[in-house]
Structure 1
């Protein structure tokens, strides 16, 4: 068979379900071979970046890689932002690019650049296929690496001439391995630390949204009552309704949840990725006793110097601690500050539940209503902008992986293509993407993809006619902001042009009903709401006054 046919068979053998992308001349043989596949669906996108975001969300929701595809040169460079986002957010992904003939790679030639070297900084592994007979090994290694903790992106380049080579080879059988586990003696020492503490708190990171890890974390908290602070990407690791849920950390300012860290004498980090929330923000004096449990050893950092590290499969690590709690009993903890932290945040979340404003709607109100409209298993995807900070603080979850926020690489333009992928993976769930007007227009062309696939999703655009997060940051630091405003299209005409349903809502009392109506429509729907971003600086001022743990009610 041709090398391109062998590559497709290897991908089928690995259980790859989707390839998202834009074909080109140099991967024509691969695309023709892919067309014959009965197992892999090729989703034609309108930009390679959209394809990468779609593959990322598939990976985050399933734990298995999908592929994104581009040709050489500009097709490959268009992929790179989405690939970097997936890699830093720990999503398994395969990145497939074409390349010119090996007969011209050594010299100046049309569209030729070193794509493999370009992808190395943003992937776990990047390689070119130099000999067709190695394809089974390359694909097997790529899938294994992409899935191995911590997951990420792997890039494979196939030159146009090698794709045509005849080859006599067969796919390698996928064989899984059990992840290594933490040492028993270290687990004993960790349990001793937890037993000695009086006010322990847990920071749950990206690693805890794996289903098995979340289950064990909840069991630990049910036993001990220890409160859990979730990073942006760990939402739903514990149920928002549980007494031990202390909501989300990650804002640059001190907030009610961080007061629980101030009060703690032991910080237990589980699956924590430093890219989300730098420890200097929650351990500024470098004096916190830290217990690190993760798939990998801790990153070296002066503000994050753990007393002890439990390195290995995270679910198994938490299980080991739970077994010791069952055998030796639960220590007597003093967690009144954590209870007060939860009460204060609950009051914040409900403060604007009954808003009745016209002309613009507060972020808090839109998120309160969105939570009411969305079921426990439904999916919210946040783009990047000021709205992301509000979603992180005010939208909370019952289940893991039901609020997807890019918070490692933080790429704008994520939500619309991500929502398309989510609707393919979970067609029975409600899918809500939330974007600012800036982020939405960065990948607006994927509205056509959503309509062509007849996906059932709702995109909510918070309109402020500006790069709102940059304005917020500049005003916080400098007392003013630079020129950041822009004009927008007529949103309803835009929706109509792409064949979407469209809704514009300015009355806060009508917001929930509008969102509900959008979800009842067949096909994609656009909901646009002017957002009251005066709340940005109001929040900054309020959090800026928060310096000490709040007094605990007697």
Structure 2
């Protein structure tokens, strides 16, 4: 067994069934080894897209998604996807090639120190210098990708290491046993919560793991404490639940801040500050914070926990719930009702052309509670975060950590591959969509069924909006676009265009009923963003006081 075969075999041992890849000359031995296993090799048109798909796979399964690239430019093209996974808490393992350590006839051609370059965007990066170390390095990569807050790791496999003998001995795989936080820490946190007048739970990305989400719902029901979600925590508790106080959206006071601005104790579950700036919900730095997660808190201004419960999230919530005195839920009900009423009162317009709120409501009406919507990044994401009623974990997949453009399509493709029984819709702005439009061919080749809803404003709309808010001229934001329907058809997708005669609701229904990949070109009117520039929290506070 050579090094490449040992790596492929060890990936199989860890349950890997797919690798998202754009291979190169330095990966040939590994690609051959993978072909001798049951691992599916999904060949992409760009390495960045392979990393985005691997990140989404890890996010949805809880096990590291795997991507593959060659040396130099191929490996560097992975980096935005690695940072997306690392900041977003998504387990990912990247495998890259490299020139041989000896007898390198091409010298420095295409050689970049990828391990050093990957340091800032990964939890761990290493190069294998001995084929006998392949299996143990893969094992450590899985440990690092899953330890604490999940993230990205990178393994560099030089060409000669891949071809040399690795021996045949593979040790059994072991995994750490999750445990609840220490009893003393649980008791300390319970004292803080029991002494609070207005506690609230803030759910982050780590709360969307199914077992943690179920434990969080039980905790809320047991204690009567309401739950507010950060964007990456949407769906951790159903937003139809009486104890859900919906979700944070924009990084400024909004209706949902009615749940957290008056809070004296904030219990964060699976949260890190990168997901939503703490000073956006703790501007005076006066709130008592209880941090619950398998990882230590990343401490920064506005996020200096009084107690840290580091351990398995589900087990810790179960232990903590036993120590909390139940409280009356009337206050939570009043806050929830106020938020719901204000959201419902926002005018989405007549759909000619659609506003982002019209898009959100139309998509929500078309999707079941377990169907999946993925978002790229743009101003429309704020409207989905605020309004899209998320009923289950990982059914609205957005990124508010790195918040990169270009990831929405790959996220949807990974979701459609994993869940062919569900409707999957990717909502992408025209800017982000065209960064990876070539992936439509990959989706078609994979035989996926999914809908791509391109909300087109012919501009970088988020930047344009901020320019308007700051009284600046709209410079550097306007774009020209190809005929998106014709382009989609060239890649093998079905295509539709929203206009006065073909409203979004009917067009989306048609697209969702089609097999294969469907694209909808939907013009977008962002005039409604004026609402976001108003004092939404003041409006919410007054509405609540009048109840």
The farther-off stretch of 44-53 and 28-37 is 28-37
The farther-off stretch of 221-230 and 535-544 is 535-544
After TM superposition, give the deviation of residue 479 of structure 1 in Å: 4.4
- Aligned counterpart in structure 1 of residue 326 of structure 2, from 316, 326, 330: 330
After TM superposition, give the deviation of residue 310 of structure 1 in Å: 1.4
Kindly report which structure 2 residues correspond to 1:261-300, keeping only aligned pairs within 5 A, or say none: 261-300=260-299
Contact 1:190/1:308, CA 8 A, preserved across alignment: yes
Distance, in Å, in 2 between the alignment partners of 1:339 and 1:400 is 22
1:465 alignment counterpart: 458
1:14 alignment counterpart: 14
RMSD of aligned Cα (Å): 2.0
1:176 alignment counterpart: 175
Distance, in Å, in 2 between the alignment partners of 1:323 and 1:265 is 21
Contact 1:260/1:549, CA 8 A, preserved across alignment: no
State the SS of the aligned residue for 1:527. Answer: strand
- Can you give the 5+ residue segments of structure 1 that lack an aligned partner in the other structure? none
After TM superposition, give the deviation of residue 255 of structure 1 in Å: 0.3
| Offset from partner CA, 1:360-400 (integer Å, 9 cap, x none) | 10111111111111111111111011111111111121111
| Offset from partner CA, 1:427-452 (integer Å, 9 cap, x none) | 11111100000000000010100111
2:87 alignment counterpart: 88
Distance, in Å, in 2 between the alignment partners of 1:185 and 1:545 is 40
1:421 alignment counterpart: 414
After TM superposition, give the deviation of residue 520 of structure 1 in Å: 0.8
Alpha carbons of structure 1 residues 191 and 544: separation in structure 2 relative to 1, 3 Å: closer
State the SS of the aligned residue for 1:310. Answer: strand
Alpha carbons of structure 1 residues 362 and 344: separation in structure 2 relative to 1, 3 Å: farther
Contact 1:67/1:93, CA 8 A, preserved across alignment: yes
After TM superposition, give the deviation of residue 462 of structure 1 in Å: 0.6
2:401 alignment counterpart: 408
| Offset from partner CA, 1:185-222 (integer Å, 9 cap, x none) | 22122222222222111111111111111111101111
1:151 alignment counterpart: 150
Distance, in Å, in 2 between the alignment partners of 1:480 and 1:200 is 43
Alpha carbons of structure 1 residues 500 and 178: separation in structure 2 relative to 1, 3 Å: same
Kindly report which structure 2 residues correspond to 1:93-172, keeping only aligned pairs within 5 A, or say none: 93-103=92-102, 109-172=108-171
- Can you give the 5+ residue segments of structure 2 that lack an aligned partner in the other structure? none
Distance, in Å, in 1 between the alignment partners of 2:190 and 2:542 is 27
After TM superposition, give the deviation of residue 133 of structure 1 in Å: 0.5
**Is it true that 1:384 corresponds to 2:383 in the alignment?**
no
Distance, in Å, in 1 between the alignment partners of 2:327 and 2:377 is 41
Distance, in Å, in 1 between the alignment partners of 2:167 and 2:130 is 12
Distance, in Å, in 1 between the alignment partners of 2:508 and 2:171 is 48
**Is it true that 1:453 corresponds to 2:443 in the alignment?**
no
Distance, in Å, in 2 between the alignment partners of 1:474 and 1:440 is 22
Alpha carbons of structure 1 residues 105 and 196: separation in structure 2 relative to 1, 3 Å: farther
Contact 1:17/1:66, CA 8 A, preserved across alignment: no
Distance, in Å, in 2 between the alignment partners of 1:230 and 1:509 is 35
- Aligned counterpart in structure 2 of residue 356 of structure 1, from 340, 350, 360: 350
2:239 alignment counterpart: 240
Contact 1:126/1:155, CA 8 A, preserved across alignment: yes
**Is it true that 1:535 corresponds to 2:525 in the alignment?**
no
Contact 1:502/1:525, CA 8 A, preserved across alignment: yes
After TM superposition, give the deviation of residue 507 of structure 1 in Å: 4.0
Alpha carbons of structure 1 residues 324 and 547: separation in structure 2 relative to 1, 3 Å: closer
**Is it true that 1:552 corresponds to 2:545 in the alignment?**
yes
State the SS of the aligned residue for 1:102. Answer: coil
After TM superposition, give the deviation of residue 104 of structure 1 in Å: 6.7
After TM superposition, give the deviation of residue 50 of structure 1 in Å: 0.7
Distance, in Å, in 2 between the alignment partners of 1:249 and 1:302 is 19
Alpha carbons of structure 1 residues 196 and 204: separation in structure 2 relative to 1, 3 Å: same
Distance, in Å, in 1 between the alignment partners of 2:264 and 2:318 is 23
* TM-score, normalization by structure 2: 0.96
After TM superposition, give the deviation of residue 342 of structure 1 in Å: 2.2
Contact 1:231/1:250, CA 8 A, preserved across alignment: yes
After TM superposition, give the deviation of residue 349 of structure 1 in Å: 3.6
State the SS of the aligned residue for 1:460. Answer: strand
| Offset from partner CA, 1:31-90 (integer Å, 9 cap, x none) | 1111111x2100010110110011011100000112111000110011111111011111
Distance, in Å, in 2 between the alignment partners of 1:220 and 1:442 is 42
1:201 alignment counterpart: 200
- Aligned counterpart in structure 1 of residue 368 of structure 2, from 348, 370, 375: 375
Alpha carbons of structure 1 residues 551 and 406: separation in structure 2 relative to 1, 3 Å: closer
| Offset from partner CA, 1:477-523 (integer Å, 9 cap, x none) | 34443231011111111121111111111349832221111111010
Alpha carbons of structure 1 residues 105 and 152: separation in structure 2 relative to 1, 3 Å: farther
After TM superposition, give the deviation of residue 470 of structure 1 in Å: 1.0
2:336 alignment counterpart: 342
Contact 1:458/1:519, CA 8 A, preserved across alignment: yes
* TM-score, normalization by structure 1: 0.95
State the SS of the aligned residue for 1:217. Answer: helix
2:475 alignment counterpart: 482
Distance, in Å, in 2 between the alignment partners of 1:449 and 1:349 is 38
Distance, in Å, in 2 between the alignment partners of 1:149 and 1:409 is 19
| Offset from partner CA, 1:215-255 (integer Å, 9 cap, x none) | 11101111233211101111101111111111111412210
Distance, in Å, in 2 between the alignment partners of 1:164 and 1:290 is 52
